[in-house]
Amino acid sequence: NISSFFCSGSRSSKTFKPKKNIPEGSHQYELLKHAEATLGSGNLRMAVMLPDGEDLNEWVAVNTVDFFNQINMLYGTITDFCTEESCPVMSAGPKYEYHWADGTNIKKPIKCSAPKYIDYLMTWVQDQLDDETLFPSKIGVPFPKNFMSVAKTILKRLFRVYAHIYHQHFDPVIQLQEEAHLNTSFKHFIFFVQEFNLIDRRELAPLQELIEKLTSKDR
């Protein structure tokens, strides 16, 4: 049941990084509640659509925070299996390897282990989400002109964590009975990025077959 997963909050999984909270009582909080309610209906295609009269930037911002929290929690359940020894490189199957660069602290891409890469990645995302000039939480504060390009970069990078979990850690996911949870979260993510054209198809290649399988039922 999708709604119980999204709203239960009582899962026994540890969060990898601190959760990013959307302030209660804010308009963004209302949007998040709206998203959770529509997810509860089970129709993910409908759930990702921009609600009538809402600002696209704000809708993308709220959902990006939500995906960060979901992936944070999903990765938190398998951190024991994702180690320097098990994953000396950040990969998504034999054909795809990721090297980390954030353009500011690390300008030249570095090869590092998956746990290190994901630590860099999630810390970087968290810093973007906490930046009030990029992700304003106060009503009436406008989003910056480059907001969409920043959001696209965040989502492109968060996708890599899903890709790594699916390719390298699917066995523990099954053992932990997290498979349905992971699939629902990923499917929601994919419908969202497809709806607003947020990730280049080439970036999605490591999970192309899975994406086709998960989305073909809901054409």
Lowest-pLDDT choice from 34-38, 52-56, 115-119: 34-38
Residue 27 marked in a binding site: no
Q: Where are the beta strands (DSSP E) in 129-197?
A: none
Residue 188 marked in a binding site: no
Tokens for 8, please give them.
């239960």
Quote the pTM value.
0.90
Q: What is the mean pLDDT of residues 110-127?
A: 96
Q: What is the CATH number of domain 55-216?
A: 1.20.140.30
Residue 138 has pLDDT above 50, yes or no: yes
Residue 181 marked in a binding site: no
Residue 87 marked in a binding site: yes
Q: Quick one: how many helices (H) and strands (E) in the chain?
A: 9, 2
Give the C-alpha separation, 211 to 62, whole Å.
Answer: 23
